[in-house]
Amino acid sequence: MNTQNFFQEFQEKKQQICILANEALKAGWIDQTAHNDILKKINDDILTIGVIGQMKCGKSTFLNAFLFNEQLLPAATTPMTAALSVITYGEKKEIEIEFYSENEWEELKQLATYDLNEINDTLQRESVKAAKELYEKSNSIKSKIPNLLGTIKKDSIDQLIEYVGAEGKYVSIVKSVRITLPYEWLKGVEIVDTPGFNDPVVSREERTKEFLKRADVVLMMLYAGRALDATDCNILFDKVGKIGIGKVILTINKCDIQLAQGEDYKQIKDNVKNELNKALSLYKDNSISELLSDIDPITISAQMALLGRMPMSDVLRDENLKHHYHEYLNDIFDHLKTQKDLLQFSQISVLEDKIKDIISTEKEEILIRKPTNLIFQKAKNAINDIETQIIIQKEQKANLELPDEELEEKIANLQKMQRRIQKKFEFAQDELGEKYDDISRKIVHDIEDIADNCKSRCNNIIDTYKKAELERKLDAELKKFEDRELKRYIENINSSIKKELRTSITELANEVEDVIGRYNENGEYNDLSRILLHTINKAFESTNNNTNLVLEKEENDNTSDILTAILLLIPTTPIIYGLFKIFDSGRDEARTRCNDFFNSINYREIEEKLKTSKSRFINVLNGDAINKVLSDLIVQAEKAEQEKAEKEKNLQKVKENLATLNANKAKIEEEYKKLQTLIL
């Protein structure tokens, strides 16, 4: 097909989408705002690529390696420093900063007044903590804030750190940043670096959602080692799946951590594919499932790629970068000798080629597919809502049509079923509690062993090396303890926790099905079985944000280097221990400092934190949601029994409701088929 014919065909497809949007508006599938957004998007002809994922999965590091070859976008090391950035074409490199509105700033200030000691909810605590940090940070520019709120400002790109960096002058009041680059291939394209979906600042979270609605392509960044966990699935199938997307690129970042443990790229990819297949079996009806069904995840190490591309002089000036560079080449990967080797081994070129191929060859197709998926997903949602109502009405109709004695038997069966399922939950919770205790003991003992081994190596260094070499060797050993050994251990134990939970959930779901099966000779409880299993899985998904061991980094005046906090499940009161540097001290003082450091690890507090987190861990199997479903059905059946005099009247009303629901469903399905013909 020549260029002219291709352009004509694309224009015809755009016109079809406009007609489709008009018909969807008439049918009530989309509102006027969504309709206007579709028409604007299709006429603007801009491809939006959203880079999404959990906080700290490496989005900014990837974009630094992909677009800048330097550390321009700072990593969001804390929720406070997360900022949405949009990268697009411009004649020169510059930035445009959008500040909070006056209302948004007032909301954040109000949030900062809350007492953390009075808040138990994890997400709310994080929101308040971030608000307090932002507000405290704003004191240095207090006099300038009134003139900046609600405004948009331009600045040179080398000042970006002042707006989005952890120590940036204006970071406390920045809502988003737009970066322009004079790259021809970026014309008609915008790449959006989103804050993590667990961003505690509400206005930034909403800003992320706004951009996600516009996204045609989603680059989902996963963290190797915990890739495609329940939070990732929630982002993909819930947040992304509900808005309609034209293309998904699944990327597994930080693969160097797994490679250092003996895995290879194929194993890392196969592990994610296995998790993806499990997820697809649970989300069969989701619109995004089709896009993911034959997807091939791309494995990369953005950190290695950035180190392979940055000027060596810049790498050597930064102690952290220099440490990682030498660690990769000297300690971990013997076959890597140069920056070129590091860049090639990172496999980032595979991802870059994929993105540029999409921009150059698939842009038009994706721009058409995005609104099409959105519109038809709205129709599917409407059909699913009606089907849920139909199930409820059918259950009520069945109750009203049953003879009195059979209705009494049904109520008795439901009550027995409820009691037996409740016992299953209680037993599963006891069993999971025992598993939790075993894991808790293992965590404390393993951390003690890791620390003791490191302490022994440190003392050996102190005994062996002279002062000039001692400081470097000792510092490298302690960084290895904090950055590699401890972090890898926690990532591995996270995986064990998730497996224990998933195993318990699967066993419980099977037992619930068995209980229902005893009363399901005629298949009358098929719908109930499906509802209960869905409820169990939803409970599991909703608690996964609280089922991680978390490594956090914070600052503290009492130590001179990185402080690391380790805690289980709920990041509230951290157990702190730190690294140190040897200054002008001799071996004895070095040994004393080394011993003080390892003795400062508060194992009792770690143990206490594990104990206090136990109830949250076990509540993943809380049977309250299941109990409510069954209780509602029992109440409904009892009501039908009690209102015998009104039975015929109620039955007639239910039949009319069913007829209306079925008619509405048929109408939407007919409209669905009709509108499908518009895009063939």
pLDDT at 546 (0 to 100): 43
Q: Is residue 32 in some structural domain?
A: yes
pLDDT at 498 (0 to 100): 67
Q: Which tokens go with 293?
A: 């069904």
Place of tokens 């516009």: 214
Q: Is residue 660 in some structural domain?
A: no
Are residue 209 and residue 86 in the same domain, yes or no?
Answer: yes
Are residue 351 and residue 426 in the same domain, yes or no?
Answer: no
Q: Is the pLDDT of residue 244 over 80?
A: no
Are residue 432 and residue 329 in the same domain, yes or no?
Answer: no
Q: Is residue 670 in some structural domain?
A: no
Q: Comparing 479-493, 502-516, 593-607, which segment has the lowest mean pLDDT?
A: 479-493
Better-scored residue on pLDDT, 213 or 170: 170
Could you read off the pLDDT of 172-223 as tens digits, one per residue?
899 889 999 998 888 888 898 877 555 555 566 666 677 777 788 889 999 8
What CATH number corresponds to the domain at position 49?
3.40.50.300
Q: Is the pLDDT of residue 351 over 90?
A: yes
Q: Is residue 439 in some structural domain?
A: yes
Place of tokens 């004509």: 8
Could you read off the pLDDT of 358-395 as tens digits, one per residue?
877 777 667 677 777 777 777 777 777 787 788 778 87
Are residue 248 and residue 182 in the same domain, yes or no?
Answer: yes
Could you read off the pLDDT of 328-349 as tens digits, one per residue?
998 888 889 999 999 999 999 9
Could you read off the pLDDT of 12-46 as tens digits, one per residue?
677 777 888 888 888 777 888 888 877 877 777 77
Q: Is residue 104 in some structural domain?
A: yes
pLDDT at 157 (0 to 100): 92
* Residues contacting 666, CB < 8 A, separation 6+: none
- Over the chain, what is the mean pLDDT? 76
pLDDT at 572 (0 to 100): 28
| Listed residues 320, 348, 383: the one ending a domain | 383
* pLDDT band of 402, cuts 50, 70, 90: confident
pLDDT at 483 (0 to 100): 60
Are residue 101 and residue 235 in the same domain, yes or no?
Answer: yes
Q: Is residue 188 in some structural domain?
A: yes
H and E: helices and strands count for the chain: 27, 12
Could you read off the pLDDT of 495-549 as tens digits, one per residue?
667 667 777 777 777 887 888 788 777 666 666 666 666 666 655 555 444 444 4
Mean pLDDT score, 107-128: 78
Could you read off the pLDDT of 63-74 as tens digits, one per residue?
999 989 888 887
Q: Is residue 673 in some structural domain?
A: no
CA 645 vs. chain centroid, Å, equals 53
pLDDT at 488 (0 to 100): 67
pLDDT at 566 (0 to 100): 33
Q: Is residue 616 in some structural domain?
A: yes
Q: How many CB atoms lie within 10 A of CB 632?
A: 12
Are residue 408 and residue 353 in the same domain, yes or no?
Answer: no
How far apart are the C-alpha atoms of 506 and 277, rounded to whole Å?
A: 16
> Helix, strand, or coil here: 192?
strand
Provide the number of structural domains found in the chain.
Answer: 2
Are residue 150 and residue 298 in the same domain, yes or no?
Answer: yes
DSSP secondary structure string for all residues of 83-128: -EEEEEE-SS-EEEEEEPPHHHHHHHHHHHTS-GGG---HHHHHHH
Residue 52: give the domain boundaries.
Answer: 3-383
